[in-house]
Amino acid sequence: MAHLKFSDLTEPAADVARSLSAYAHDFVVPTVRLGVTGLSRAGKTVFITALVRNLLADGRLPFFSAQADGRIGRVYLEPQPDDDVPRFSYEDHLARLGATDPQWPDGTNRISQLRLTIEYQRTSSLRRLLTPALGPGRLNIDIIDYPGEWLIDLVLLEQDYDTWSREALAAANTPHRQAAARPFLEFIAALDRASPLDEAVALTGARLYTAYLEAQRAKEPALSTLGPGRFLMPGDLAGSPLLTFFPLPESGSITRSTEGARASLGGQLGRRFESYKSYVVKPFFRNHFSRIDRQIVLIDALAALNAGPGAVSDLNEAITSVLSAFRPGANTIASRLFGRRVDRILFAATKADHLHRSSHDRLELLLSALTDRAMARALFAGAEVKTLAMAAIRSTREAEAGNGDAALPCIIGTPIAGERVADVIFDGRTETALFPGDLPDNPETLINGTMAQQPVGAEDIRVLKFKPPRLALDLPDGRMLAPPHIRLDRAIEFLIGDKLA
Ligand SMILES: Nc1nc2c(ncn2[C@@H]2O[C@H](COP(=O)(O)OP(=O)(O)OP(=O)(O)O)[C@@H](O)[C@H]2O)c(=O)[nH]1
Ligand SMILES: [Mg+2]
């Protein structure tokens, strides 16, 4: 009889353990879904590209604790889980940034996704003891880039066409919007809601309504709360009949139940409004928004401040409406439909490299004062909320310029061709030093001043668009470099740090 040796038993057992652990690896890898949003041009694409590059290339991230502790192992891109969502074109965006003549990425106008996997050493010795067969920890990060414009639509789910029309027309008739809305308001004044639908009227009305939203957005750059969101950022729906409706005043005589009323202009626009909710708004919130665990909202606060009086109250409106979209537990149609909740939200002021370091804390204080107000207004509770002033890619450096007795804190960079300061128009090749101005020490000065429609200090901020820094991203020896940033590591720590414990 052949004797079974101990090693005969243990080898297969070890194999089984190994394949079990591989199985566990593939099926039990925790995933965090990270939503990245913000209005058009807020800096979403640059942020995601910089985030991914810094993680892949082991960039300088001293406040990202897992990396600072030396616990990060391999980091790599993996195929994303959702086949029906376009992939975030990380390689293309990076190639443009790393070119000899570096360029910012092109605008993107739809949702996209990327999966990044991080291998790391666990901190807790107990967990290390309990899970030796699992090896190092692994975390999938599914990054979802979606236009902030789409968030505005959540409120529509609780409205019918008449309610929406009433609110949309009241908004269009407020004094600071009337000028932009005039052509649209004049057009609908001549319409009869009960007349049969004429497609040309539907198209013209939708075009004029969209033109009004666009004009108004230029004045309310933080996050205009006027929608529908796809009118501003249509994504794949540009030109679709789903976007050919607009608000109409209610008529005195209501004949809803008849065939004629359904075929009428009012009836048809109402039907399209409902289709927009069913085929556009609900699928987005159900398939994407409701699955997000962590959210970063990028805000171009300096552009907002530059926009002049009313800008700060607009920012406050914007933050309030974002928080309302994420408010857990409120007994709304939205929360019944989409049970899951986001547990961390980061409001990040982007492009902080447009200001000298001395103003970064002030920018953060301003955002945090606004967020506190917004949280009180939105009765927000349940998620951890943080504010940060950040530059995903730093395109300036700092210097002091003499000005009589006082040294002025300046930033130095290469303004993009066509940018101008007073009479000087930049050629895109010349470096320049700029005193961008100071934000006030006390954010309340700015908030109270601009909320009273009198800008205090904000008019002193000068924002120029700078070219991305010129840097070799790939060294001859094969090593990868990451672009410089400001406080990107703090953003990463807040968004995923605890998941790497
Ligand atoms: N200096 C500086 N500029 C930035 C930074 N991030 C974004 N920008 C500027 O902002 C512009 C818009 O950035 P994107 O990342 O393309 O913005 P987005 O939110 O993806 O915009 P859409 O795709 O149009 O919705 C860029 O072209 C840059 O000019 C940054 O970290 N530093
Ligand atoms: Mg983009």
Ligand 1 atom with the smallest distance to the CA of 486 is 31
Q: Which one of 52, 92, 114, 351 would you pick to mutate in the ligand 1 pocket, going by the greatest count of ligand atoms within 8 A of its CB?
A: 351
Domain boundary (237, 255, 283) is at: 283
Ligand 1 atom with the smallest distance to the CA of 390 is 31
| Residue-number span of the structural domain to which 251 is assigned | 151-283
Return the structure tokens found at 278: 């069913």
- How much is the pTM? 0.86
**Residue 321 burial class via C-beta count within 10 angstroms: exposed 0-12, middle 13-18, buried 19 and up:** buried
Ligand 1 atom with the smallest distance to the CA of 298 is 19
| 98, 168: one domain | no
| 220, 107: one domain | no
| 74, 104: one domain | yes
User: Shortest CA distance to 498 belongs to which of 327, 343, 349, 292?
Assistant: 343
Q: Which one of 45, 89, 96 would you pick to mutate in the ligand 1 pocket, going by the greatest count of ligand atoms within 8 A of its CB?
A: 45
Here the contacts of 95-101 (C-beta below 8 Å, separation 24 or greater) are 97/49, 97/393, 97/468, 97/473, 97/483, 98/471, 98/472, 98/473, 98/474, 100/470
Which residue's C-alpha comes closest to atom 12 of ligand 1?
41
Place of tokens 């409106």: 317
Q: What is the pLDDT of residue 39?
A: 82
User: Shortest CA distance to 243 belongs to which of 137, 336, 153?
Assistant: 153
| 277, 165: one domain | yes
Ligand 1 atom with the smallest distance to the CA of 300 is 10
Residue 309 to residue 172: CA distance in whole angstroms: 19
Tally of structural domains, the chain? 2
Residue 65 alpha carbon to ligand 2 centre in Å = 28
Residue 330 to residue 396: CA distance in whole angstroms: 44
φ, ψ (nearest 5 deg) of residue 473? -85, -20
| 155, 92: one domain | no
Cis (ω within 30 of 0) for the bond into 228? yes
| 105, 126: one domain | yes
| 325, 368: one domain | yes
Please give the C-alpha separations between residue 169 and each of 100, 180, 182, 248, 254, in angstroms, as whole numbers.
50, 13, 11, 8, 19
Question: Average pLDDT for consecutive 10-residue bins of the chain (501 residues)?
Answer: 40 47 60 92 96 96 96 95 92 94 91 96 71 78 92 87 94 89 96 91 96 85 74 87 92 58 87 95 88 91 73 76 72 56 90 91 88 80 89 93 76 92 88 84 70 47 87 86 96 97 88
Residues with CB under 6 A from ligand 1: 38, 40-46, 104-105, 107-108, 147, 350-351, 353, 391-393, 395, 465-466
DSSP of 374-427: HHHHTT--SSEEEEEE-BSS---EEEEEEETTEEEEEEEE-BPTT-EETTEE--
Which residue's C-alpha comes closest to atom 5 of ligand 1?
351
